[in-house]
Structure formats: structure tokens, C-alpha cells
């Protein structure tokens, strides 16, 4: 009897899901985890995300959803990484499935848990109704997403989820429009799924379904909005055919070699005034060489992948990005650095920080730098040549010949070990990344 009852429930769920897909997603053959589990009311969400999957790309912030329920997004061709967030827990659970959380924090807080320009896409499903200040949260999401990136928001409308979390708000189309407008986001599309208006007939004697005058009583409402792309402000002085950029203040002796420094300090004839954590004011495929020497260690690690991919965008095909950072696999650097009680490096008092970015924020080794670069566009649409570094075991190193005609090496990248005066020992990691 029990088995027969379960079969009947599964058959009923299958019929309802087929009806939803016919009415709202005609022609869709996609079958997601909610459908597989027979969770009829959640099918709207996965079909909606699948329908607009072309907007989901780059680094994606997926708010409070375990991987199982959105596993199909991890394989999308334009998605490079998905970050899961939650308000308070290090493990997020939904149903019988759990995932570790990458970012724990309140996205209503000022400042939010992620810095500006951190991600390319934000998925905010069944979250906004639970936050005390949805206006601040939308402003925060607008600051976190990169220019041109999309924010996809869906919330329930016809029921209250207060048995699980505090449930404060319901958003119709006008509310979504206002939230997006006040956050400075462009509205791409809004919509609703499900309509329970006909059930008003039983209680109140009239049909409240959607028609030309009323929007009905939807099961859920949604909005897709975008942070407006920043228009490039192209520079007033000519660069000639080969634009070569040095990250930071450019010494005067390299001026005649055709290099321009790029710095947040006021520009002069040798420099472009720009913050490299923001999108570059250059067209695609316009830069011959970009070199960064000891600057990346002063930038928050959450921003680096976006910066590297932005460098890839502006480089010409076969263009070179030479990256140089101090190597904390080097004994000299490890010994001079200050460490905490666990022996983890927390600062390097001998490292000279630039005025652009302030204090040092991370202490790279070959393994940590390789992990970062392997997630960049240079890994899939270019080449990576590690020219100089200490191996992971810290007992040996690699020093390949460096073509100094291609880039600059202003700061010392090696030293002479007094115990072996005939030997140069690397103290920096040098990587040449070429765009294909």
C-alpha cells in the first residue's frame, strides 16, 4: 500500500512538472536535480537559471545553495569558478545535501564580505526576502559584481517561509524595479512564475489571476539586472603602435624605451593615472606588453584573478604579461619575515610597499601562484612559462634564461649566497604569460 502511494505521488509530481515546463518553459528538455527529486515548487528556479545560463559566466557568487542543487552550473563553458556564501554557517545544507561555504558573512553589512569588482555573476535565489535591509543588500551586490556582470534574483511571493528563517519581504515587479534603480543597476528583464489567483475564487468569490489589469498572485517573482559597463576613457596622448605598460611608477631611464607606467598617482607624460583593480581604459587586443613587478602582493587575493583576466583581455594576440613577485620559498625572505605563533608568515618588514596599494597582503610561493594562474584565461587561452622560482620542497630552485628585451626587471630578482659566491639564487618568481 505504501509503495503504491509513493508511486502515485511521484506520478502526480511528474505531471505537475510537465505542466510547468509546457506553460512556462516550452521546448525545454533540461532535467535538473529538483525535477529529479520531484520538488515541484523548485522546478521554476532551475528551469529559469537554465534558460538564462548564457548570462552566468566568470566567477559566480551563488548565495546559500549547496552544490548539488546547482551542479549543472559548474559545467557551463563560461563559468571559471563558483563561490558559495552563507550568512553564518561554514557548511550550508538544503534537503539532504551539504556543501562547504567559501564566504561566511552578511551581505547587508557595510562593507560587504567581498570587495568591489569581485565576481562576474551573482545568483540570489530565495535570499532577499530574509534580509533586514534589502535596499542595502542590492547596493552591495551592485558593488561586488564587475561592470557588465549580471545579478539574478528570484524570491517567493505567494507563501511565507518563516518556519525556517525570518521572512520579512515580498517583492513585486515595481519593488524589483525600485531596488535595481536605487542600486544603480540596469534592468534587463523581470518576470513571474505560477499564478495562484484562481484560488481567490474559493475564498473571496472572484478570480485574481493575472490579466490586463492585475499581475495575479505569482508563486515567485524574479529580476535580471546588470551593472552598467564602464565606458573606456581613452587617453589623450598617442602611444604609437606598441603600447607597453609597467605596473607602478616607471623610472625615468626607461622612458625612451617606449614604456608607460600605470599608477593611481596623478598622471604625467610617463604615466597613466589608473587603479589596476578597476577595468582598464583600453580596447581589447591593444597592449603589446604588460609587466607587474612586486605589486600583486599588495592587492587583495580575491581581486587578482579578475585583474589577470583583464590583462589578458587588453593584450594583443602573442602579447606578453611578465609577472614578478617575491618568492617566499626563498630562505632569505622566509628568515627575514615575521611569523605568528603557528609559524605562518604575517608580514615582511623589508618589503617596500608602493603608495598605490599599501601594505602587503599575501606571501606567494610557486604552488600558490601556480594555483592562481591556472584558473586564469592564460591557462586556457595562452601559455605560462615559469622562468624562476624555488621548488615546493624549498631545497632546490629553477632559473631559466630571461629575455630582458621583452620586459623590465627593475628590482633585484636574485641574490648571491655568501656560502656559494659563484651561484645566483632566486628571490623572486618570474612568469611569462603569453596570450594565444
pLDDT tens digits along 25-47: 999 999 999 999 999 989 999 99
For residues 20 and 150, membership in a common domain is answered with yes
Cα dist from 166 to 90, 91, 109, 218, whole Å: 20, 19, 17, 21
428-435 and 382-390 as β-strands: parallel, antiparallel, unpaired? antiparallel
Cβ proximity of 50 and 42 under 8 Å: no
For residues 151 and 51, membership in a common domain is answered with yes
For residues 150 and 285, membership in a common domain is answered with no
Closest CA to 176 of 129, 121, 223: 223
| Residue 234 placed within a domain | no
For residues 43 and 88, membership in a common domain is answered with yes
Peptide bond into 334 cis (omega under 30): no
For residues 161 and 275, membership in a common domain is answered with no
Supply the angle between the helices 366-374 and 301-314 in degrees, to the nearest 10: 50
Per-residue pLDDT tens digits for 299-315? 888 889 989 999 998 99
Q: Which residue has the higher pLDDT, 371 or 411?
A: 371
Cβ proximity of 25 and 83 under 8 Å: no
The last residue of one of the domains, among 226, 253, 268, is 226
SS3 351: coil
For residues 172 and 261, membership in a common domain is answered with no
| Residue 250 placed within a domain | yes
428-435 and 315-326 as β-strands: parallel, antiparallel, unpaired? antiparallel
**pLDDT at residue 339, as a whole number:** 87
For residues 316 and 382, membership in a common domain is answered with yes
SS3 44: helix
Cβ proximity of 137 and 180 under 8 Å: no
For residues 183 and 254, membership in a common domain is answered with no
Does residue 331 carry a pLDDT above 50? Answer: yes
For residues 198 and 93, membership in a common domain is answered with yes
For residues 296 and 182, membership in a common domain is answered with no
Report the C-alpha gap between 279 and 274 in whole angstroms.
Answer: 9
Does residue 209 carry a pLDDT above 60? Answer: yes
What's the first-to-final CA gap in the chain, in angstroms? 64
Instruction: Return the CATH number at 258.
Output: 3.40.50
**pLDDT at residue 101, as a whole number:** 95
**pLDDT at residue 256, as a whole number:** 56
From the number of C-beta atoms within 10 Å of its C-beta (0-12, 13-18, 19+), residue 373 rates as buried
For residues 276 and 183, membership in a common domain is answered with no
Does residue 394 carry a pLDDT above 70? Answer: yes
| Residue 279 placed within a domain | yes
For the chain, the C-alpha Rg in angstroms (whole number) is 26
Report the C-alpha gap between 121 and 375 in whole angstroms.
Answer: 17
Per-residue pLDDT tens digits for 159-202? 766 556 788 999 999 999 999 999 999 999 999 998 888 887 78
**pLDDT at residue 234, as a whole number:** 46
The last residue of one of the domains, among 200, 226, 252, is 226
Lowest mean pLDDT among 87-91, 261-265, 416-420: 416-420
| Residue 148 placed within a domain | yes
| Residue 233 placed within a domain | no
Instruction: Return the CATH number at 178.
Output: 3.40.50.150
Q: How many domains does the chain have?
A: 2
| Residue 52 placed within a domain | yes
Establish how many alpha carbons lie within 13 A of residue 141's alpha carbon, considering only the half-sphere containing its beta carbon.
32
pTM here is: 0.61
**pLDDT at residue 52, as a whole number:** 97
SS3 50: helix
Per-residue pLDDT tens digits for 419-431? 555 457 888 999 9
For residues 221 and 255, membership in a common domain is answered with no
| Residue 360 placed within a domain | yes
| Residue 235 placed within a domain | no
Tell me the residue range of the domain where 417 lies. Answer: 244-435
The last residue of one of the domains, among 163, 191, 226, is 226
Amino acid at each position: 500500500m505504501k509503495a503504491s502511494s509513493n508511486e502515485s505521488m511521484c506520478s502526480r509530481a511528474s505531471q505537475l512538472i510537465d505542466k510547468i515546463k509546457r506553460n512556462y518553459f516550452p521546448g525545454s528538455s533540461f532535467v535538473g536535480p529538483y525535477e529529479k527529486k520531484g520538488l515541484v515548487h523548485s522546478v521554476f528556479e532551475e528551469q529559469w537559471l537554465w534558460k538564462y545560463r548564457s548570462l552566468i559566466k566568470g566567477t559566480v557568487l551563488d548565495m546559500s545553495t549547496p552544490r548539488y542543487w546547482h551542479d549543472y552550473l559548474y559545467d557551463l563553458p563560461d563559468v571559471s569558478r563558483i563561490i558559495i556564501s552563507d550568512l553564518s554557517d561554514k557548511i550550508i545544507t538544503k534537503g539532504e545535501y551539504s556543501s562547504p561555504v567559501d564566504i561566511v558573512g552578511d551581505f547587508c553589512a557595510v562593507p560587504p564580505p567581498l570587495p568591489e569588482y569581485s565576481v562576474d555573476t551573482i545568483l540570489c535565489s530565495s535570499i532577499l526576502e530574509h534580509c533586514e535591509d534589502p535596499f542595502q543588500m542590492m547596493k552591495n551586490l551592485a558593488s561586488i559584481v564587475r561592470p557588465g556582470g549580471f545579478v539574478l534574483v528570484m524570491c517567493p511571493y505567494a507563501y511565507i517561509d518563516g518556519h525556517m528563517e525570518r521572512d520579512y519581504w515580498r517583492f513585486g515587479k515595481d519593488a524589483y524595479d525600485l531596488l535595481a534603480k536605487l542600486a544603480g543597476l540596469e534592468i534587463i528583464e523581470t518576470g513571474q512564475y505560477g499564478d495562484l489567483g484562481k484560488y481567490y475564487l474559493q475564498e473571496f468569490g472572484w478570480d485574481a489571476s493575472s490579466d490586463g489589469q492585475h499581475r495575479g498572485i505569482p508563486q515567485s517573482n524574479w529580476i535580471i539586472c546588470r551593472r552598467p559597463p564602464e565606458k573606456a576613457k581613452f587617453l589623450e596622448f598617442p602611444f604609437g603602435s606598441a603600447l607597453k605598460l609597467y605596473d607602478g611608477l616607471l623610472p625615468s631611464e626607461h622612458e625612451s624605451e617606449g614604456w608607460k607606467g600605470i599608477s593611481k598617482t596623478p598622471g604625467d607624460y610617463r604615466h597613466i593615472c589608473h587603479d589596476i583593480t578597476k577595468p582598464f581604459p583600453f580596447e581589447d587586443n591593444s597592449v603589446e606588453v604588460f609587466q607587474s613587478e612586486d605589486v600583486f602582493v599588495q592587492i587583495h587575493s580575491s581581486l587578482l584573478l579578475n585583474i589577470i583576466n583583464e590583462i589578458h583581455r587588453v593584450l594583443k594576440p602573442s602579447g606578453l604579461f611578465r609577472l614578478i613577485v617575491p618568492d617566499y620559498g626563498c630562505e632569505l625572505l622566509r628568515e627575514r619575515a615575521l611569523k605568528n605563533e603557528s609559524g605562518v608568515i604575517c608580514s615582511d618588514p623589508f618589503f617596500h610597499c608602493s603608495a598605490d596599494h599599501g601594505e602587503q597582503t599575501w606571501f606567494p610561493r610557486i604552488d600558490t601562484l601556480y594555483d592562481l594562474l591556472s584558473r586564469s584565461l592564460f591557462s586556457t587561452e595562452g601559455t605560462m612559462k615559469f622562468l624562476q622560482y624555488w621548488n615546493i620542497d624549498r631545497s632546490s630552485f629553477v632559473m631559466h634564461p630571461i629575455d630582458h628585451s621583452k620586459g623590465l626587471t627593475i628590482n633585484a630578482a636574485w641574490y648571491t649566497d655568501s656560502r656559494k659566491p659563484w651561484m645566483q639564487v632566486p628571490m623572486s618568481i618570474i612568469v611569462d604569460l603569453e596570450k594565444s
